[in-house]
Chain A
Amino acid sequence: MKTTILQKPASFYDEFVLKGGSQLKSTHYCPGCGHGILHKLIAEAISDFNIQDRTVLISPVGCSVFAYYYFDVGNIQAAHGRAPAVATGYKRANPDSIMISYQGDGDLAAIGTNEILHAANRGEQMTVFFVNNAIYGMTGGQMAPTTLIGQKSTTTPRGRTLQNEGYPMKMAEIIAILEAPVYVERVMLTDAKNIARTRKAVRKALKIQIDKKGFSFVEVLSACPTGWKMTPVNSKKWMTDVLSKHFELGVKKDISEDREPVIVMHPEPHFKEYHELLDIKSLADKITDVKLPALKPILDEVKIAGFGGQGVLSMGYALANIAMGHNYQVSWLPSYGPEMRGGTANCSVKVSDQRIGSPIIDNPTVLVAMNKPSLIRFEEDVQPGGIILYDSGLIDTPPTRKDVTVIGIQATEEADKLGSRKIANMIMLGAYAKSSGYLLENYILQALPLIIKNKAFHEMNDKAFKLGMRLAK
Chain B
Amino acid sequence: MSKVLIKGNEAVVRGALLAGCKNFFGYPITPASEIAETAAYYFPLLGGTFLQAESEIGAINMIYGAASFNTRCMTASSSPGFSLKQEGISYIAGAELPCVIIDIMRGGPGLGNIAPEQADYNQVVKGGGHGNYNLIALAPNSAQEMCDLTMLAFDLSDKYRNPAVVLADGIIGQMMEPVEFPKPVETIPDRPWAVRGTVDSHNLICSIELLPDKLEAHNEALQAKYAKIKEHEIRYEATYCDDAEHILIGYGIVSRILHTVVDVLRAEGIKAGLFRPITLFPFPTPQFEAFANDKNVKSFFVSELSAGQMVDDVRLAVNGKKPVNLHTRMGGNIPTVKELVDKFKATI
Contact = CB atoms under 8 A, between A and B. Distances in A.
- Of the candidates A79, A267, A269, the one having the most CB atoms from chain B within 10 angstroms of its own CB is A79
B336 A333 contact: no
A282 interface: yes
Given A75-B205, A76-B195, A277-B45, A336 B115 contact: yes
Interface string B329-340: 000101011100
Interface string A137-149: 0000000000000
A74 interface: yes
A284 B178 CA distance: 12
A65 B61 contact: no
12 contacts: A56-B195, A75-B204, A76-B64, A82-B64, A92-B49, A93-B71, A331-B177, A332-B5, A334-B174, A337-B332, A356-B177, A357-B257
Interface size class of B (residues with CB under 8 A): 35 or more
Main SS at interface, chain B: mixed
B160 interface: no
A281 interface: yes
Contacts of B91: 78-79
B65 interface: yes
Contact of A331 (B69, B175, B201): B175
B202 interface: yes
B114 to A, nearest CB: 5
Contacts of A93: 22-23, 49, 65-66, 69, 71, 73
B327 interface: no
Contacts of B206: 59, 68, 75-77
Contact of A115 (B61, B113, B205, B260): B61
Nearest to A87: B65
Interface stretch (B50-58, B151-159, B278-286, B307-315): B50-58
Contact of B203 (A75, A97, A337): A75
A133 B275 CA distance: 59
Interface in A174-218: none
Contacts of B2: 282, 284-285
B316 to A, nearest CB: 28
Interface string A235-263: 00000000000000000000000000000
B181 A280 contact: yes
B121 interface: no
Nearest to A116: B54
Contacts of B4: 280-282
A89 interface: yes
A340 to B, nearest CB: 9
Interface string B256-280: 1111110100000000000000000
Nearest to B4: A282
A330 B144 CA distance: 12
Contact of B259 (A56, A275, A358): A358
A128 interface: no
Contacts of A150: none
- Of the candidates B63, B67, B176, the one having the most CB atoms from chain A within 10 angstroms of its own CB is B176
- Of the candidates A20, A278, A320, A332, the one having the most CB atoms from chain B within 10 angstroms of its own CB is A278
A346 to B, nearest CB: 13
A459 interface: no
B18 interface: yes
A365 B336 CA distance: 16
